[in-house]
Homo-oligomer: A and B are copies of this chain.
Amino acid sequence: MKLSNLAILTATITGVAAAGFAASHARTPAEIAARKGQMQLISVHMGVIGNMARGNIDYDAAAAQEAADNLAAIGMISQTLLWPEDTAGHEESRALPAIWEDRAGFDAAWDDFSTATVALQGVAGDGLDALRGGLGGVGRTCGTCHDTYRASAN
């Protein structure tokens, strides 16, 4: 790589990081902001499907499939780089010490989510009942992980 390209790249990365910081609390570690962002991404797509499941909006096979596809893509994000030891116990995070004390269990819980999103992806376009079943499977993995690895909201 030419040095000039590296300079452009550095500027780009710095810009990305700056945008990230601006979008969150100034002192929030980047990994915590990214973890919260990941949950926001999950929330939006679960919301689309959940609103169909609850009858708040009409079932739309294409939109359901797209939301499920996106959940499956999010499920492919490895969590290894997002939960460094030095972010344990941070005041802006509800992540419990159990994550770092039982990292294998935590990773398995994420894998369960990933597996359930793939199952949902396989049925999302097959009608409302199939969608509800797949969503229920994903929802259970959310609940199990939150019960074990996330502090209750105050």
* Contacting pair A45 B142 (CB below 8 A): no
| Chain B residues near A34 (CB-CB < 8 A) | 37, 40-41, 43-44
Interface SS, A side: helix
Q: Does A120 contact B (CB under 8 A)?
A: no
Closest CB in chain B relative to A153 CB, distance in Å: 6
Q: How many residues of A contact B (CB 8 A)?
A: 63
Interface string of A1-19 (1 = CB under 8 A from B): 1000110111011011111
* Contacting pair B43 A17 (CB below 8 A): yes
Interface string of A50-74 (1 = CB under 8 A from B): 1001100000000100110110011
| Chain A residues at the B interface, C-beta cutoff of 8 Å | 1, 5-6, 8-10, 12-13, 15-20, 22-24, 30-31, 33-34, 36-48, 50, 53-54, 63, 66-67, 69-70, 73-74, 76-78, 80-82, 94, 129, 132-133, 135-136, 139-140, 142-143, 146, 150, 153
A-B contact pairs, 20 of them (CB 8 A): A5-B136, A8-B139, A12-B139, A12-B140, A15-B142, A15-B143, A16-B43, A17-B43, A18-B153, A20-B36, A23-B39, A30-B40, A31-B44, A34-B37, A34-B40, A34-B43, A36-B37, A69-B76, A73-B73, A74-B77
